[in-house]
Amino acid sequence: MPVKHFISESIRRGPSAGPLFILGHGILELLLIGALFLGLAPFLKRLLVFKVIALAGGGFLIFMAAGMFREIKTLSLETAGEHPVKGNIIFQGTGLSLANPYWIIWWATIGLSYILSAGKMGASGVVVLFAGHILADLLWYSFVSAGIAKSRKIMSDRVYRMLTGVCALFLVSYAVYLIVSSMFF
């Protein structure tokens, strides 16, 4: 599960985990922006495609939440960073983006409108938009990974488990929202 890997790698590597994850995220977003310009946007705007993404994404989020609930009893900040993540952390950043079903819906709607607006200024407008967007992601994930790395010293395992449970509940509620919205949209 990519979120678990982000936490483990943030504990193990410290603040550098955030930028490495965002590198993978940024590569994926760059590819998606290219695909949107090459004709993917109208396909993603179709109601049926939205419904399929929302249903599949909602199901995947419930699957992720179930895994989080199963692991709560064994979670420990003491051992979270002891074993390196298998595979490349940059690819894990790509997986973290792909695991969020709303990511592609956002790019097909809001993100696309931003790109089209920025595109009125030419290629430089799109480059500035993309750079600003990735910089914001980089700053946020660097802050989060630094916070996670420091939390090991100040947070108890009990608080860590409670936060994980709250996050899992949030995933379930978000999944229900996606599934319901796919039925009534």
The answer to whether residues 175 and 41 touch, using CB atoms and an 8 Å cutoff, is no
Residue 145 clears pLDDT 90, i.e. is over it: no
Closest CA relative to residue 52, chosen from 97, 104, 113, 111: 104
Average pLDDT over residues 34-55: 82
pTM of the model: 0.71
Quick: pLDDT tens for 47-65: 888 788 888 878 888 888 8
Mean pLDDT across the chain: 82
**Cβ neighbours for 40, distance < 8 A, ≥ 6 positions apart:** 32, 108
Cα separation, 101 vs 113, in Å, equals: 19
Quick: pLDDT tens for 5-26: 677 788 778 888 889 989 999 9
Amino acid at 160: Y
Closest CA relative to residue 141, chosen from 18, 32, 4: 18
Cα separation, 143 vs 60, in Å, equals: 27
Per-residue confidence at 1, pLDDT binned at 50, 70, 90?
A: very low
What pLDDT, on the 0 to 100 scale, is given for residue 134? Answer: 94
Cα separation, 71 vs 64, in Å, equals: 11
What pLDDT, on the 0 to 100 scale, is given for residue 82? Answer: 59
At residue 76, the 3 state secondary structure works out as: coil
Residue 85 clears pLDDT 50, i.e. is over it: yes
The domain ranges of the chain are: 2-184
